[in-house]
Structure 1
Amino acid sequence: MLDMLVVGGGYVGLAAAVAVKQAAPHLTIEVIEAAPSGAWEKDERASAIIAAATRMLDVIGVWNEITVDAQPINRMVVTDSRTSDPVRPVFLTFDGEIEEGRPFAHMVPNVAMVRALRGAAERLGIAIRHGLSATGFQSGSTRCTVSLSDGSAVETRLLVACDGVRSKLRDMAGIKTVTWDYGQSGIVATVAHERPHEGVAEEHFLPSGPFAILPLTNNRSSLVWTERTAEANRLVAADDLVFEEELQRRFGHKLGELTVVGDKRAFPLGLTLARAFVAPRIALAGDAAHGIHPISGQGLNLGFKDVAALAETVVEADRLGLDIGALNVLERYQSWRRFDTFRMGVTTDVLNRLFSNDITPIRIARDFGLGIVERMPKLKSFFIDQAAGKSGEDGPKLLAGEAI
């Protein structure tokens, strides 16, 4: 019988397995992943990793490897305008460092993250089984029996569901969600440009939704471009010339000529919040627990916060001789994460509704608000600390850079 079975071999699932195994090497942990072996190497996307998450990745021994490919975000610029406006006035800027030598976030290629986490899992003796999914489970008083797609079954004390925003395990556990569709899609692409970005990230609030330019290494940037779904699908299906012309209108000319590198894809955007994060013998983490709008770049970072809280809950329970899959143990994890997740979900929902429109009175009000924040250093510091994931003294140790 396993101590912990993780379903989902992405960043959150792998990080959860590594964090627990590193702190409690005697626990037996396996990861099952529906995608075939090597599929992760084809992911061309990049993600913003906040300072708190980099501390955790450092403690679990993978950040040194990841940082080779990471681009620090040295500055953040926020504008609010229409696509046709010849000038986009800057309403808000944030300096990138939250402390000496530590930027509030890095941009990291997804491939680099998964490679480092897989390497750590293998070194710790965590088996990763590809091409398998969970088709059902039954929770008992001391164990959970998980049926797999190859007809086999696995017994485990704790089942961790990291199987995405459309989590089948969440549904099997009878956990309901709060869900709605924004009618928007996020276009994700990587572009190369002539001039260096100097580590500056930009977020342009346009009537159709936020248009984020996030710096990568080697004169490249990652785009998260929000459009109404029909328009997003049209743009992604268009040839590169049409796409790059539309892109240049929004991106501007300050970095010179733009060239799309690799694939461009559109992902539907919505809000999904699990009403509970735990049930007997099962805990949800990452997108299985929450899917939010990318307007704040916090989606993956919420998942890493889940990892830090779940790992500490499991490891400390094990040290006390408690059953790591018992509901009263898992409720500590839920109490740690549910409010923060709900707050972030509401915040991103309000921001998207506030900025994804072209209603003049609302535009005037929001620009006035951005201007106030720009002129109040203490308020700006508060927002940057929140963006960097600073938590109070009662936060998970890993997010503070401390071992469990």
Structure 2
Amino acid sequence: MADRKTDAKTTLDVLVAGAGYVGLAAAVSLKQARPNLAVAVVDAAPAGVWQKDGRASAIAAAACRMLDQLGVWQEIVGQSQAITEMIVTDSRTADPVRSVFLTFDGEVAPGEPFAHMVANKDLNGALRRRAQELGIDIIEGVAVTSFDSNGAGVTVHLADGATLKARLLVAADGVNSKLRDMAGIKTVKWEYGQSGIVCTVAHERPHNGRAEEHFLPAGPFATLPLKPTEDGTNRSSLVWVERSEDAQKLVDGDDLVFEHELELRFGLKLGEIRVIDKPRAWPLSLTIARAFVAPRIALAGDAAHGIHPIAGQGLNLGFKDVAALAEVIVEADRLGQDIGALDVLERYQQWRRFDTVQMGVTTDVLNRLFSNDIGPLRQLRDIGLGLVERMPRLKEFFIRQASGLSGDTPRLFKGEQI
């Protein structure tokens, strides 16, 4: 556990539960904009566990702008890989040729890619260092066991017996959020019967920054470009969706069987491929909180919503939560308002809930439409993809959606200070 500057006698303005990307970004956003606010982070995970995360995430252009405003993007960008092109196919696993139905150029503005692939440990490390620069206390290896809210604030009880007081508690503790349950907030949830297999592969030829998403009958198979290693090894990150029982058999079974099935889907366009880390599978579901706020508590990131990865927007939705919540809280503090009051938090909920539900429904419909081998549906969706390919304005709309620059965009997502 990190050395604490925060103890039971400290009265915090904001306590963030969860030291993942969303929680750290929320703490940094608030402290940077309002240095007068006392902000701390508490996390149940052991210290240093984030350094073992070998995965990578797609960071949309708007989220990159926010990270730049937070003073961390310049540290990250050198290790990131810009996505310069995106192609979409719709096929069966055994099809000898996969026709490309849709292509996207990778820029939202000249010189600004619509997304970058960033190693999770690089992202988390940069946010942690920025939090420490700002004097934010990060308490690790200690879970929140309960909290009590009243008119004046919230009292948070930790597993080590400590008690902290704050005006606002931000729950950023993941899709299975215990704080959400403690607050009595119910969820809408259903399982997809699918799991996402995640791993990193090396390949002979360079990817040239191109991402690909193949819609296969069991679910999407996405290849996302990673920055080559220092020794020149070409790499890509995979998000491979299969029926849950098949996914578990693949990751638990023989390595040769896994690589054979992988090659059937990946193809040989980039030459010989090999898996360079242990594949893991996560069950997929749609989870949306019925409310994003309660007295003295606000949900952010996966604690508020967990969506299907078919559009690659889960983390970016969480960052948009951060940008909106920080803007609401900072403006309320400047006006002398109580930052944990329910009427202040309702502004955040109104801002984010519709957008989140809309994205959840969109990804759900896309998954149901494309994760099957029904002939009439296949013809319908392929016609639809072909029409989008021939309509530049509609493609531009989808690019802006993917980049996070559509809708009522918070200032940080525009690259502006709060």
TM-score by length of 2: 0.96
Aligned equivalent of 1:331: 346
CA distance in structure 1 between the aligned counterparts of 2:169 and 2:319, rounded to whole angstroms? 18
SS at match of 1:263: coil
Deviation of residue 127 (structure 1)? 0.5
Aligned equivalent of 1:294: 309
Whether 1:348 and 2:363 are equivalent positions in the alignment is: yes
Matches within 5 A, 1:20-35: 20-35=30-45
Letter in 2 for 1:39: V
Deviation of residue 6 (structure 1)? 0.4
CA distance in structure 2 between the aligned counterparts of 1:340 and 1:141, rounded to whole angstroms? 30
Whether 1:398 and 2:408 are equivalent positions in the alignment is: no
Whether 1:263 and 2:278 are equivalent positions in the alignment is: yes
CA distance in structure 2 between the aligned counterparts of 1:101 and 1:238, rounded to whole angstroms? 44
Matches within 5 A, 1:160-309: 160-218=170-228, 219-309=234-324
Aligned equivalent of 1:157: 167
Aligned equivalent of 1:365: 380
Matches within 5 A, 1:373-392: 373-392=388-407
CA distance in structure 2 between the aligned counterparts of 1:26 and 1:65, rounded to whole angstroms? 26
Q: Is the 8 A contact 1:240 1:260 kept in 2?
A: no
CA distance in structure 2 between the aligned counterparts of 1:198 and 1:245, rounded to whole angstroms? 24
Aligned equivalent of 2:117: 107
CA distance in structure 1 between the aligned counterparts of 2:355 and 2:385, rounded to whole angstroms? 24
CA RMSD between the two structures: 0.6
| Percent identity over paired residues | 70
- The one of 44, 55, 63 equivalent to 2:54 is 44
For residues 374-394 of structure 1, give each alpha carbon's deviation from its aligned partner in whole angstroms, at most 9, with x where no partner exists: 0011111111111111134x4
CA distance in structure 1 between the aligned counterparts of 2:278 and 2:28, rounded to whole angstroms? 31
Matches within 5 A, 1:7-18: 7-18=17-28
Deviates more, 1:256-265 or 1:209-218: 256-265
What is the number of equivalent residue pairs in this alignment?
Answer: 403
Deviation of residue 239 (structure 1)? 2.6
- The one of 83, 92, 102 equivalent to 2:93 is 83
SS at match of 1:129: strand
Whether 1:61 and 2:71 are equivalent positions in the alignment is: yes
For residues 11-60 of structure 1, give each alpha carbon's deviation from its aligned partner in whole angstroms, at most 9, with x where no partner exists: 00000000000000111111011111110000000000000000000001
CA distance in structure 1 between the aligned counterparts of 2:183 and 2:354, rounded to whole angstroms? 21
Aligned equivalent of 1:321: 336
Q: Is the 8 A contact 1:186 1:269 kept in 2?
A: yes
Aligned equivalent of 1:94: 104
Deviation of residue 68 (structure 1)? 1.3
Greater than 2 Å deviation, 4+ residue runs: none
- The one of 325, 336, 340 equivalent to 1:310 is 325
CA distance in structure 1 between the aligned counterparts of 2:84 and 2:225, rounded to whole angstroms? 9
CA distance in structure 1 between the aligned counterparts of 2:406 and 2:25, rounded to whole angstroms? 19
Deviates more, 1:394-403 or 1:41-50: 394-403
Whether 1:19 and 2:33 are equivalent positions in the alignment is: no
Gap regions ≥5 residues in structure 1: none
Deviation of residue 395 (structure 1)? 2.4
Deviates more, 1:10-19 or 1:237-246: 237-246
SS at match of 1:3: strand
Deviation of residue 238 (structure 1)? 1.8
Letter in 2 for 1:307: V
Deviation of residue 151 (structure 1)? 1.4
CA distance in structure 2 between the aligned counterparts of 1:49 and 1:160, rounded to whole angstroms? 22
CA distance in structure 2 between the aligned counterparts of 1:262 and 1:189, rounded to whole angstroms? 6
SS at match of 1:370: helix
CA distance in structure 2 between the aligned counterparts of 1:368 and 1:28, rounded to whole angstroms? 55
SS at match of 2:291: coil
Aligned equivalent of 2:5: none
TM-score by length of 1: 0.99
